[in-house]
Amino acid sequence: MLIHKDPSEIEWFKCHLCDFKAKQKGNWIKCDLCDFKARHKGNLKTHTLMIHKNPSEIEWFKCHLCDFKAKKKGNLKRHMLIHKNSSEIEWFKCHLCDFKARHKSNLKTHTLMIHKNHSEIKWFECFLCDFKTKLNDTLKKHMLIHKNSSEIEWFKCHLCGFKAIHKSNLKTHTLMIHKNPSEIEWFKCNLCDFKAKQKAHWRRHTLIHKNPSEIEWFKCRVCDYKAKRKDLLKKHTLIHKNSSEIEWFRCEACDFKSKHKGSLKRHILVHRSR
């Protein structure tokens, strides 16, 4: 058993790009019904459940307070938080500032991004350019800018020609474009007629009903700026970063680059109209 072996006796599988090493060599597990593949059996099970199972065969986890239902118990648990008052939630609180989060993983990310000294951080560095990041997932996303379109494993829509680099973008596309309104789990405002297909849009809307004193502000630790939304704070913090720390979004057709993905998308339209 590997867990009982002395480290010196183990045949390690080492990454040729960094110091990472593992006791087991990762083999891909393939889906029998499509091109999806995963390193972990649990991920394949989730994929099969979310994509291929007939809704009539699924054991749904249902909310007893509204019409929400989920294929996974963890998603139902997350959903239940929207029915709780702020005072009822068991918050994960930062011991260094006023930040608090509903999920432990969000607190860990906050501590890493805000409070850790640069010298203590294990940076994830790109071996093709000067980019480095505190999060492995961010590095993975960054690496896609170095790939040719033919090398990327696209997530393709089976209903139209849309394709996305990230699975989450494909899910959003399917929800926004192809789902019948009657099939959609709408996020409804209990103070007006507003409803949204995405929880993030619903949460953004609810801010218009709140008094400034009730809002959990996202504050800049370098200046007095504060925002109602985390994404606005992230955009703001770019003004405090050195050029070398920024993940630039670059145009493949010219020298244009931007700090914001949306700006790059708008710029690309210039080339398409020519």
Tens of pLDDT, residue by residue over 204-235, are 888 888 887 777 788 888 888 888 887 788 88
| pLDDT tens track for 184-197 | 778 888 889 888 88
Collapsing DSSP to helix, strand or coil, 22 comes out as strand
CA distance 185 to 66: 10
Q: What is the pLDDT of residue 273?
A: 60
User: For the ranges 102-106, 138-142, 267-271, which has the lowest average pLDDT?
Assistant: 267-271
Quickly list DSSP for 77-133.
HHHHGGGS-GGGS--EE-SSSS-EESSHHHHHHHIIIIIS-GGG---EE-SSSS-EE
pLDDT at 9 > cutoff 60: yes
Quickly list DSSP for 138-200.
HHHHHHGGGS-GGGS--EE-SSSS-EESSHHHHHHHIIIIIS-GGG---EE-SSSS-EESSHH
| pLDDT tens track for 32-49 | 888 777 777 877 887 887
Q: What is the pLDDT of residue 119?
A: 75
Over residues 60-64, mean pLDDT: 85
Half-sphere exposure of 119 (CA within 13 A, CB side): 0
pLDDT at 272 > cutoff 70: no
pLDDT band of residue 136 (cuts 50, 70, 90) is confident
Q: What is the pLDDT of residue 170?
A: 85
Q: 150 vs 30, 36, 129, 162, 235, CA distance in Å? A: 21, 17, 21, 15, 31
pLDDT band of residue 129 (cuts 50, 70, 90) is confident
| Residue 67 vs residue 160, higher pLDDT | 160
Q: What is the pLDDT of residue 1?
A: 45
Q: For all residues of the chain together, what is the average pLDDT?
A: 78
pLDDT at 248 > cutoff 50: yes
pLDDT at 153 > cutoff 60: yes
206: closest CA among 218, 185, 193, 189?
189
Q: Using CA atoms in the order 37, 41, 45, 51, what is the torsion angle rounded to 10 degrees?
A: -10
Q: Which secondary structure element, helix H or strand E, spans residue 3, and what is its range?
A: none
- Give pTM, 2 decimals: 0.40
Over residues 245-249, mean pLDDT: 75
